[in-house]
């Protein structure tokens, strides 16, 4: 009898142990599942926050680019010599001003910017350009505080130009612009920037002297970049026959890099022109 009782007690103990083990396994699995769920939720929150920060950074960078390009194009316009009629590059500059300022107007539709832009459209002169520029500086103060200190772009005065600031215009290669449009990036057909003459390399200054000194006896304050090429009759190399067309995005490219790219393309174009000139003379 005692043996049966002992067996029954042993069986009950085994059953209880199994139940406890099952309960323990269930609780462990549930705890692990809760931990995994919490880990996944935290990961999702972290990824969402990272995405949000990245989107905010993109928005700020895009807005910063709009403000700075607006200020840059207006400043270049203000630095131009007074004239009765505008050449094509000045007309392109006015078009660029409209392009960037309209983007700001979409952001601030009720601002005085609308009135100033309409006035500038009717008669694009320096007085109206200054009004737009002052209004942009005013609007920048409302952009969460990170624009005001960055908009320190001042118009190059005539005395600054005499000290060596050059206004340089470039064209962007259409094939490059076309490819970037497919990628979702809009790049201007023409771009203008300021650069200190003394900050150029000796190689760059030497090339500019070759291009402009024969006709200007100086390097102009406002000029485009050119490449050497063979003349139409194939008897000489002309320095101002072919305008340089850049294959880069000037909106996120430093002026030093733009000039370095032109410098390299100039050397390659000169080698090609000299080779063609030599082949032509041997015929």
pLDDT in tens, the chain (283 residues): 567 666 666 667 667 766 677 766 777 787 777 777 877 877 778 777 777 777 777 777 788 888 888 888 888 887 776 555 556 667 788 888 988 899 888 888 888 988 988 888 888 888 888 889 888 888 877 776 554 444 444 444 444 444 578 889 999 999 999 999 999 888 888 888 888 888 899 999 999 999 999 988 889 888 999 999 998 888 899 999 899 999 999 888 889 999 999 999 999 999 999 988 887 665 5
pLDDT the model gives residue 13: 66
Is position 42 within any domain?
no
Round to whole Å and give the CA distance between 199 and 211: 19
Q: Is the same domain home to 138 and 88?
A: yes
> In DSSP terms, which residues pair with 119 in a beta bridge?
none
Same domain, 135 and 206: no
Residue 118 included in any domain: yes
Please answer whether residues 88 and 112 qualify as being in contact, where contact means their C-beta atoms are separated by less than 8 angstroms.
no
pLDDT at 72: 82
Residues 6+ apart with CB under 8 A from 128: 116, 119, 120
Structural domain of 72: 66-153
Q: Count of CB atoms within 10 A of residue 191's CB?
A: 23
Residue 160's pLDDT is what?
A: 42
Note whether residue 235 is domain-resident: yes
How confident is the model at residue 179, as a pLDDT? 93
244 and 176, same domain (yes or no)? yes
Q: Please say which residue of 134, 153, 172 terminates a domain.
A: 153
Residues 213 and 235 in one domain: yes
In this structure, what token pair is assigned to residue 10? Answer: 């042993």
The last residue of a domain, from among 153, 184, 204: 153
- Choose the final residue of a domain: 153, 179, 200: 153
Which long-range CB contacts under 8 A does 77-83 form with residues at least 24 apart? Answer: 77/124, 77/126, 77/129, 78/126, 78/129, 78/130, 78/133, 78/155, 79/155, 79/156, 79/157, 79/161, 79/167, 79/194, 79/222, 80/167, 80/222, 81/222, 82/126
Establish if 242 belongs to a structural domain: yes
131 and 176 both lie in a single domain: no
Same domain, 265 and 220: yes
Three-class secondary structure of residue 171 per DSSP:
strand
Quick check: is 219 in a domain? yes
Tokens representing 222 are: 């406002």
**Are 138 and 181 found together in one domain?**
no
Task: Count other Cβ atoms within 10 Å, centred on residue 165.
Answer: 19
Residue 19 lies in a domain: no
Residues 134 and 230 in one domain: no
Give the count of domains, the chain: 2
Question: In this structure, is residue 142 part of a structural domain?
Answer: yes
Let me know: does 115 contact 134? Beta carbons within 8 Å: no
Can you give the pTM of this predicted structure? 0.47
Q: By the 8 A CB rule, do 169 and 192 touch?
A: yes
Same domain, 172 and 84: no
Q: Give the pLDDT score at 234.
A: 83
The per-residue pLDDT for 228 is: 94
Same domain, 222 and 193: yes
Is residue 170 within 8 A of residue 244, CB to CB? The reply is yes
φ, ψ of residue 164 in degrees (nearest 5): 130, 0
Please indicate, yes or no, if residue 56 is contained in any of the structural domains.
Answer: no
Same domain, 167 and 145: no
Rg (CA), the chain: 34
Do residues 184 and 90 both lie within one domain?
Answer: no
């Amino acid at each position: 009898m005692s043996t049966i009782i002992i067996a029954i007690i042993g069986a009950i103990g085994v059953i209880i142990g199994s139940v406890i083990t099952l309960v323990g396994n269930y609780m462990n699995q549930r705890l692990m599942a809760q931990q995994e769920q919490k880990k996944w939720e935290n990961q999702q929150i972290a990824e969402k926050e990272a995405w949000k920060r990245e989107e905010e950074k993109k928005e700020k960078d895009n807005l910063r680019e709009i403000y700075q390009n607006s200020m840059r194009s207006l400043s270049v316009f203000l630095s131009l010599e007074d004239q009765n009629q505008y050449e094509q590059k000045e007309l392109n500059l006015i078009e660029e001003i409209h392009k960037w300022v309209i983007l700001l107007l979409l952001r601030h539709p009720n601002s005085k910017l609308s009135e100033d832009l309409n006035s500038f459209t009717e008669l694009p002169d320096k007085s109206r350009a200054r009004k737009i520029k002052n209004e942009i500086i005013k609007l920048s103060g409302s952009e969460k505080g990170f624009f005001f200190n960055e908009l320190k772009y001042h118009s190059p005065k005539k005395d600054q130009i005499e000290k060596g600031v050059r206004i340089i215009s470039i064209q962007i290669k259409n094939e490059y612009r076309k490819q970037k449009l497919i990628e979702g990036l809009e790049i201007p057909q023409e771009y203008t920037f300021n650069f200190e003459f003394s900050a150029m390399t000796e190689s760059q200054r030497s090339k500019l002297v070759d291009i402009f000194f024969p006709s200007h006896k100086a390097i102009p304050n406002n000029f485009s970049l050119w490449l050497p090429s063979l003349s139409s009759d194939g008897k000489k190399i002309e320095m101002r026959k072919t305008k340089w067309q850049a294959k880069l995005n000037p909106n996120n490219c430093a002026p030093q890099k733009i000039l370095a790219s032109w410098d390299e393309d100039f050397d390659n174009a000169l080698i090609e022109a000299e080779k063609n000139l030599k082949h032509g003379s041997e015929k």
